[in-house]
Amino acid sequence: MLTISNLTYRIGGRVLFEGAGVQIAANQRIGLVGRNGTGKSTLFKLIKGELSPDSGEISLPPRVKLGDVAQETPDGPESLTDCVLAHDKERAALLAEAETTDDGHRLGDIHERLAAIDAHSAPARAAAILAGLGFNPEAQARPVSSFSGGWRMRVALAGALFARPDLLLLDEPTNHLDLEATLWLENYLASYEGTLIVISHDRDLLNNVVSRIIHLDQGKLVAYGGNYDRFEQVRREQIELAGKAAVKQAAQRAHLQSFIDRFRAKATKAAQAQSRIKMLERLGPPISVIEDQPVSFDFPDPEQLPPPLISIDKGQAGYAPGKPVLRGLSFRIDMDDRIALLGANGNGKSTLAKVLAGRLDLLEGEHFHPPGLKIGYFAQHQTEELNLDETPFQHMQALMKLAAPAQVRAQLGRFGFSQDRADVKVGSLSGGEKARLLFALMTRDRPHLLILDEPTNHLDIDSREALVSALNAYQGAVILISHDPRLIELTADRLWLVNDGKVNDFDGDMEDYKALLLGKAREARKEASGKDTAPSANKKDERRAAADMRAQLAPLRKKAQEAEKLVEKLSAKKAKLEAELADPKLYSGPAEAITALKKSLAEVERDLSAAEENWLFSQEAYEEAASAS
Q: Collapse the DSSP code of 215 into the 3-class scheme (helix H, G, I; strand E, B; otherwise coil) and give the result.
A: strand
- What's the CA gap between 543 and 519, in Å, rounded? 10
* DSSP 8-state code for residue 444: T
User: What pLDDT sits at residue 525?
Assistant: 53
* Residue 414 contacts residue 298 (beta carbons within 8 Å): yes
* Superfamily name and number for 310-538: P-loop containing nucleotide triphosphate hydrolases (3.40.50.300)
**Burial (Cβ within 10 Å: 0-12, 13-18, ≥19) of residue 511:** middle
Q: What is the pLDDT of residues 189-198, one digit of tens each?
A: 998 888 999 9
Count Cβ atoms below 10 Å from residue 235 Cβ, excluding itself.
18
**Geometric angle at alpha carbon 177, from 175 and 180, rounded to 5°:** 140
Q: What is the pLDDT of residues 77-119, one digit of tens each?
A: 889 998 988 888 888 888 888 888 888 888 888 888 888 877 8
* Residue 31 contacts residue 172 (beta carbons within 8 Å): no
- What's the CA gap between 249 and 246, in Å, rounded? 5
- HSE-up of 346 (CA within 13 Å, CB side)? 12
Q: What's the helix, strand, coil split of the chain in %, to 5?
A: 50, 20, 30
Q: What is the pLDDT of residues 263-276, one digit of tens each?
A: 666 655 556 666 66
CATH of domain 551-628: 1.10.287.380
More confident residue, 180 or 519: 180
- What's the CA gap between 213 and 226, in Å, rounded? 7
- What's the CA gap between 528 and 522, in Å, rounded? 10
Beta-strand pair 212-217/29-33: parallel
Q: Provide the whole-model pTM.
A: 0.68
User: What pLDDT sits at residue 416?
Assistant: 83
- Among 3.40.50.300, 3.40.640.10, 3.30.70.520, 3.90.550.10, what is the CATH number of 1-64+166-292? 3.40.50.300
Question: Taken in order 73, 79, 80, 82, is the CA torsion positive or negative?
Answer: negative
Average model confidence (pLDDT) across the chain: 82
- What's the CA gap between 623 and 559, in Å, rounded? 12
| Every domain of the chain and the residues it spans | 1-64+166-292, 75-160, 310-538, 551-628
Percent of the chain past pLDDT 90, that is, above it, reads 26
Instruction: Please check whether the two domains, 1-64+166-292 and 310-538, share a CATH topology.
Output: yes
User: What pLDDT sits at residue 161?
Assistant: 92
Q: What is the pLDDT of residues 10-64, one digit of tens each?
A: 887 788 888 999 999 988 999 999 877 788 889 999 999 899 998 999 998 888 8
Count Cβ atoms below 10 Å from residue 434 Cβ, excluding itself.
18
